[in-house]
Structure 1
């Protein structure tokens, strides 16, 4: 080797020394992670519960056995839990920008999947030690309770930002069971006490954090649970279970586009359970649930994929979602809110302006008022009388300027009823439940609320569902607010505008805008009469 080249290589090695891979001791095992950046370390794909395979399929998660002696790699995300196929309707004429958003913001969350999937990930400051006692944010991914994984959201930038703010924090994410594997619902499920398995998985992950996070430098007494979409709904339901007793698992909650939803008992999912039983050949079994535990994985997954997905005509009237099972949820979520069975912890919650647009693309064939009314009466509110629904049609009229994307006039009407359906779905599943949640808890605990109106110029979608995640995973204001909240139990700090609390007397919304003026405080009073009627109807006729 020429002397000059040798000298150059030595100089480079001195200026950029190779860092040893980060390690952590859990029980009697040493886990080897990887350096995520100049000042963070990542430990990925660590099992946090026993694999829910074989006879453990469709059972409550079981704690992981103590990690045995050995050197274990923790350098890659684990496989996602079994994913339901996404059948997104394809329409001619959608702008390339919209197609790109659909592909990259939604469809990209699908990763290789398997039943052995209950793994957890920790990203920490490189120099955090077992005595650091840093605050911890625990992220729950979204995906309509049908798909998604922890691998879809890398928290490295959040940890890096926390270090830059001199408020270092630890980021945790994990996989949980989804779709039929996590939310099978029927009378058989109630009898066996195995409803809402995906929520039980989340609870088990929280217990793992309590047991092991100190080894990474985290403080188990300073845990904030946080999620987006179905992950945010999950956060709210974690506040409702166990009569509101957190068991010391978390001290604060942060929800992006998700609140306690208007669902009913597990028996409301009976037709989907029966369909899977029939399609897997278990219909003649005396114990259909036990039979399903023995069905070959490909057969069961094929049957699950035959059920309506989130982009089917039924859209947000999901086949697989949390329902009252008598164990994790002793009643419907909104009834639990109203009866006060909820954790008394500070929380932040908010929505995007146009939550319903993304989920209404599948209903573009609805073009007349009669077809719209049939959609509401047959899919959304069967059992409600025409007299009950007439006011709803008044509050959500077929007037483009009143529909979603909001504040876009006659533009962005993908079909004759699209903006109307978008407004209805966005309010029914996201905006109205959030407002009920906040009103009911007014004066009982500290709370803050936001509204994201960014990306309003996206054709047909506007400030669509999921768009606010760009404001938190890529160094936006919400990143700083999250870090402040996890550290101080309030969102305010020197790097961001003042965010006042929400109350019924002063329903302040931290509102995020496009353009030069990026934030303002607006009032949470829009579409009040329509949302109140929606709340009343969905409370009486839950999904």
Structure 2
């Protein structure tokens, strides 16, 4: 009996010691994480690909190089370099392909757990929800999931395109970085207690756009890298084909002084990072009057991104896995300049984002959204700011989610949709309403986001109850591919989009969460906007 007791004690001693040291051997490197007092272990700054510098600038990600010794995974890796910021922010670098893993400490000696791989947004031009901590989701899941977050290349470093890049490098490298992470998860996540056969990919804004692009990648080829998906404020920006994107390459070559070189791509690769970044600026799209919000983004390359997203989904060329799509009430207010004072300002802004839009399209949009009786007054804003925000929000975010939810439902795939409508007094007074990806604060928990300065004050008081509600639905979906089995006690069942009469989504608001139908007037607007989607390059 004494020998048995000693064996048990030794087993737990070594298990605890292992959890505290948390050394994981990935083959190419050994990383020592740390176990926190809350029972969650974390490994920060794990390199998942070789540094994309020198000859690897503008190239697809490569396998990480072998590193000797034990690497201390106690600090986040550098963020990828954004567009339009010079000098470079101190926390950014070209060598930025790092990921973080959060896992319950006990999972290291128990059965494998579901995995949530989250893709941050930033319009494909910055890493804007960086270094989010997975602890809140893990605790909300009753210590039942593993969370992975990561950086990926953005701006020209991730999405420069053109004939020279195709021939001497690679296009859509930011998306290829994401796929590299998903392959890394398949190979290594079991060493952290995660189940490679139960991976949910999710993301916000450009991260949600990435989810739709991954669902339709290679025309819907299923490489079994994930098994369910969540798109938070799915973004359908206009995309360019290879020949259409040549202008951005040419302009960058001209601005950097590389135009006189026979090998302009080699010249760009040989530039020191500061010289390149100084010219990494936003410029107008062809035929547009002003720069878009985001210049660089995924390009239709006839391979990884074989066509417009709308068209791929309409043709059934997507991976059939359970999905959640959704949006907030006021998707556009974070983006539209507040000084929009007339219809001309509004149309110029919209054309700058979707440069292929035609006059007939603008006329119809003006009829829907920009009549004089639809103007609104808010502090420091022009009268057409809010209706322009509504138009832009529905074109780029809300209507794509409505359409794709319907497509999945028609394909017989479990599909849920949400409308996040939490009210904050200060944001209501300013006209911002429930702004773009506000749901991220409820999903991750207030203490786990890096942009705490953007958390509305009411989330610490009157809106605090929405956090466990949202976390309950999200962690249930991560654990079971269904938002209902493990939802927060007392919350309503979240019915699928196609259930009953269809167009049913959950309305998320503090104390008022319920199922609702999409208003008929919004359905009508979306029907038109979706019908012109491919003409806008979506």
* TM-score of the aligned structures, taking structure 1 as reference length: 0.83
* Residue in structure 2 matching 1:320, options 290, 293, 296: 296
Question: How far apart, in 2, do the equivalents of 1:288 and 1:259 lie?
Answer: 33
Query: What is the CA deviation profile of residues 235-279 of structure 1, one whole-angstrom value per residue up to 9, with x for unaligned ones?
Result: 111111122123111000011011554423133333322221111
In structure 2, the CA distance between the partners of 1:128 and 1:18, relative to structure 1 (3 Å rule), is closer
What is aligned with 1:532? 527
More deviation, 147-156/40-49: 147-156
1:478 aligned to 2:455?
no
1:390 aligned to 2:363?
yes
More deviation, 43-52/142-151: 142-151
What is aligned with 1:6? none
What is aligned with 2:516? 522
Q: Specify the SS of the correspondent of 2:81.
A: coil
Q: Specify the SS of the correspondent of 2:203.
A: strand
Contact kept? 1:261, 1:333, Cα under 8 Å: no
1:454 aligned to 2:450?
no
Query: What is the CA deviation profile of residues 340-380 of structure 1, one whole-angstrom value per residue up to 9, with x for unaligned ones?
Result: 1100100111101101001012xx3432233434444x424
In structure 2, the CA distance between the partners of 1:317 and 1:143, relative to structure 1 (3 Å rule), is closer
1:498 aligned to 2:505?
no
Deviating 4+ runs (over 6 angstroms)? none
In structure 2, the CA distance between the partners of 1:316 and 1:528, relative to structure 1 (3 Å rule), is farther
* Residue in structure 1 matching 2:403, options 403, 415, 436: 436
More deviation, 69-78/389-398: 389-398
C-alpha displacement of 1:486: 1.4
Question: How far apart, in 2, do the equivalents of 1:142 and 1:133 lie?
Answer: 28
C-alpha displacement of 1:306: 5.1
Contact kept? 2:377, 2:383, Cα under 8 Å: no
C-alpha displacement of 1:187: 3.5
Question: How far apart, in 2, do the equivalents of 1:150 and 1:45 lie?
Answer: 16
What is aligned with 1:372? 346
In structure 2, the CA distance between the partners of 1:207 and 1:439, relative to structure 1 (3 Å rule), is same
In structure 2, the CA distance between the partners of 1:239 and 1:339, relative to structure 1 (3 Å rule), is same
In structure 2, the CA distance between the partners of 1:370 and 1:77, relative to structure 1 (3 Å rule), is closer
Query: What is the CA deviation profile of residues 447-502 of structure 1, one whole-angstrom value per residue up to 9, with x for unaligned ones?
Result: 10001111353012110012111110114322221211111110113524210001
C-alpha displacement of 1:219: 0.6
Contact kept? 2:282, 2:292, Cα under 8 Å: no
* Residue in structure 2 matching 1:422, options 363, 367, 389: 389
Contact kept? 1:187, 1:266, Cα under 8 Å: yes
* TM-score of the aligned structures, taking structure 2 as reference length: 0.84
In structure 2, the CA distance between the partners of 1:369 and 1:306, relative to structure 1 (3 Å rule), is closer
In structure 2, the CA distance between the partners of 1:37 and 1:523, relative to structure 1 (3 Å rule), is farther
What is aligned with 1:33? 33
Question: How far apart, in 2, do the equivalents of 1:204 and 1:19 lie?
Answer: 27
More deviation, 487-496/244-253: 487-496
What is aligned with 2:13? none
What is aligned with 1:507? 503
Q: Specify the SS of the correspondent of 1:450.
A: strand
Aligned pairs (5 A) from 1:229-240: 229-240=205-216
Aligned pairs (5 A) from 1:153-164: 153-163=132-142
Note the residue ranges of structure 2 that are not aligned, 5 or more in a row.
1-16, 446-466
What is aligned with 1:75? 74
Question: How far apart, in 2, do the equivalents of 1:175 and 1:222 lie?
Answer: 22
Q: Specify the SS of the correspondent of 1:44.
A: strand
In structure 2, the CA distance between the partners of 1:415 and 1:263, relative to structure 1 (3 Å rule), is same
Query: What is the CA deviation profile of residues 35-83 of structure 1, one whole-angstrom value per residue up to 9, with x for unaligned ones?
Result: 2342100001011011100000000001224x55522110111000112
Q: Specify the SS of the correspondent of 1:143.
A: coil
In structure 2, the CA distance between the partners of 1:418 and 1:487, relative to structure 1 (3 Å rule), is same
Instruction: State the number of aligned residues.
Output: 488
